[in-house]
Amino acid sequence: MFNHLSQLPADPILGLLSAFRADNNPNKIDLGVGVYKDEAGHTPVLQVVKEAEVRLLRSEESKAYIGPAGAAGFNAAIQQLALGAGHVVLADNRVRSVQTPGGCGALRVMAELIQRAKKGATIWMSDPTWVNHIPLFGSAGLQIKSYPYYDRDSSKLHFDAMVETLKKVGEGDLVLLHACCHNPSGADLSREQWQVLAKIAQKQGFTPIVDMAYQGFGDSLEEDVYGLRLLAASVPEMLLAVSCSKNFGLYRERVGMAMVLYSDGAAADRGQSQLTNVVRENYSMPPSHGAAIVESILTDAGLRANWEAELIEMRERINGLREGLVGRLKDAGAAKDFDFIRHQKGMFSFLGINPEQVHKLQRDYSIYMVDSSRINIAGLSETNMTYFCRALAAVIE
Ligand code: LMR
């Protein structure tokens, strides 16, 4: 049965991990997969997560099934973190959600819900977008189109072109947006640009679908959700995928949430019955442990304060690295202005070098990044920064 299956190439992001591990160069640098790293290059378990886990071990009384929607307390806590407790759509009882195995799980179940509502619907994605967005939605049967977003030549947002395209997108189509810390470009929309976008969504009648994997990594927990809160208040229907991988450091625990905003409470109940049915058909119900950690952190004032402090520390380290990188590249005599990196947000930026130069960095210097030249800023440190900057300057000279 399986003999005829062909060998697929490694995943463009995850495939870098094995190549990096196999490299014996002591100076090797991993700027590939998007995980936060500290100065020592480790991805630590947050202190607050350790504390919550200790409490959980003491208090957990059962491992019985939690059901397809996951824990109600987790869903409520994440809805409030994303939308704000007082958001009008919560008061209007128009929101339903399911706890999912990570942000990918959320995107996938939402894709299947969309398929049930409108088979083969078109979803518009930013050019570029996170590489896994395309197969996640495409393999569920949705049609993929793209809108201009980031201009690689000028290293700037292509907002006018984005607006021009979205003004032609109509009712029945979906538009995928990144809430903050755009992956892979790091180029985010300003408040004014979100306002323009919300007006276009309202006028055109398309359905926004927001992917939020980095709340708190951009400017702050509140500022990073400005756009999605505005959109939720402006349109009748919207979808939101949340990941807790980065901001709680819970990558392998697979914690996420798929949230759908419906036009009224009755539609919300019907939609939720479909969404939980999608979950049941796929993996029956989500794993509990990671979401229970998040719920206990968000519902305990002390733990929450500790989490926010650790989150600020991660964000400030990345922002410091952005500043440092721009300065060091200048010092290394790099034949390109990298100032744009200082203004971008979150874990990623494009260096804007070509695939040949990316391969040269890997081959000659053991510096690993995605072919598109996206780097994970958090993979840099005081220790490896000079080596990295000299190597990059040499490759682009
Ligand atoms: C990334 O973009 O590197 C992360 O979101 C990890 C992944 O699964 O691709």
In whole angstroms, give the CA distance from residue 277 to residue 78. 21
Ligand 1 contact, 132 CB (< 6 A): yes
User: Rounded to an integer, what distance in angstroms lies between the CA atom of residue 92 and that of residue 89?
Assistant: 5
156 three-state secondary structure: strand
Non-local CB neighbours of 99 within 8 Å, separated by 6+ positions: 66, 69, 70, 71, 74, 75, 255, 256, 257, 286, 291
Counting from 1 in the atom list of ligand 1, the atom nearest the Cα of 104 is 8
Other C-beta atoms closer than 10 Å to the C-beta of 36 total 23
Q: What is the pLDDT of residues 335-372, one digit of tens each?
A: 899 999 999 999 999 999 999 999 999 999 999 999 99
**Which numbered atom of ligand 1 lies nearest the CA of 184?**
2
pLDDT for res 121: 98
Q: What is the pLDDT of residue 335?
A: 87
Strands of the chain (E only): list them: 29-30, 95-100, 122-127, 143-148, 150-151, 156-157, 174-178, 207-212, 238-243, 256-261, 348-350, 367-368, 374-376
Please state the pTM of the whole predicted model: 0.97
* DSSP string for residues in 300-346: SHHHHHHHHHHHHHHHHHHHHHHHHHHHHHHHTT-SS--THHHH--S
- Secondary structure of residue 257 in the 3-state scheme: strand
Q: Supply the residues annotated as catalytic.
A: 130, 211, 246
**Amino acid letter for position 186:** G
Spacing of C-alpha 222 from chain mean position: 16
Question: Which among 8, 380, 350, 44 is positioned nearest to 184, based on CA atoms?
Answer: 350
Q: Which residue reads 């996938």 in tokens?
A: 108
242 with 257: CB under 8 angstroms? yes
pLDDT of residue 238: 98
Among 13, 36, 185, 369, which residue has the most ligand 1 atoms within 8 Å of its CB, making it the best to mutate? 13
What length is written for the chain?
Answer: 397
> Residue of the nearest CA to atom 1 in ligand 1?
34
**Pair 345, 186: CB distance under 8 Å:** yes
Q: How far is the CA of 391 from the centre of ligand 1 (A)?
A: 25
CB 208 within 8 A of CB 175: yes
Close Cβ partners of 92 (under 8 Å, ≥ 6 residues apart) = 264, 265
Q: Measured in Å, how far apart are the chain's first and last C-alpha atoms? A: 52
- Residue at token pair 């919560």: 90
Instruction: Please report, in tens digits, the pLDDT of each residue of the chain (397 residues total).
Output: 999 999 999 898 998 999 999 999 999 999 999 999 999 999 999 999 999 999 999 999 999 999 999 999 999 999 999 999 999 999 999 999 999 999 999 999 999 999 999 999 999 999 999 999 999 999 999 999 999 999 998 999 999 999 999 999 999 999 999 999 999 999 999 999 999 999 999 999 999 999 999 999 999 999 999 999 999 999 999 999 999 999 999 999 999 999 999 999 999 999 999 999 999 999 999 999 999 999 999 999 999 999 999 999 999 999 999 999 999 999 999 989 999 999 999 999 999 999 999 999 999 999 999 999 999 999 999 999 999 999 999 999 8
Spatial CB neighbours of 245, under 8 Å, sequence gap ≥ 6: 102, 103, 213, 251, 254, 255, 256
Query: Which of 30, 33, 131, 372 gets mutated to test ligand 1 (max ligand atoms within 8 A of its CB)?
Result: 33
Residue-level pLDDT at 361: 98
- pLDDT, residue 122, reads 98
- Work out the angle between the directed axes of helices 301-331 and 382-396 (0-180°, nearest 10): 40
| DSSP assignment letter at 66 | -
Q: Give the largest CA-CA distance in the chain.
A: 62
Neighbours of 268 (CB within 10 A): 19
The Cβ-side half-sphere exposure at 269, using a 13 Å CA radius, reads 4
Q: Which of 16, 107, 129, 130 to mutate to test the pocket of ligand 1 (most atoms within 8 A of CB)?
A: 130
Which residue's CA is the nearest one to ligand 1's atom 9?
13
Q: What distance in angstroms lies between residue 333's CA and the mean position of ligand 1's atoms?
A: 31
Name beta bridge partners: 146: 125
pLDDT of residue 330: 95
| Distance separating alpha carbons of residues 88 and 94, to the nearest angstrom | 9
Give the distance (Å) from ligand 1 centre to CA of residue 129.
Answer: 11
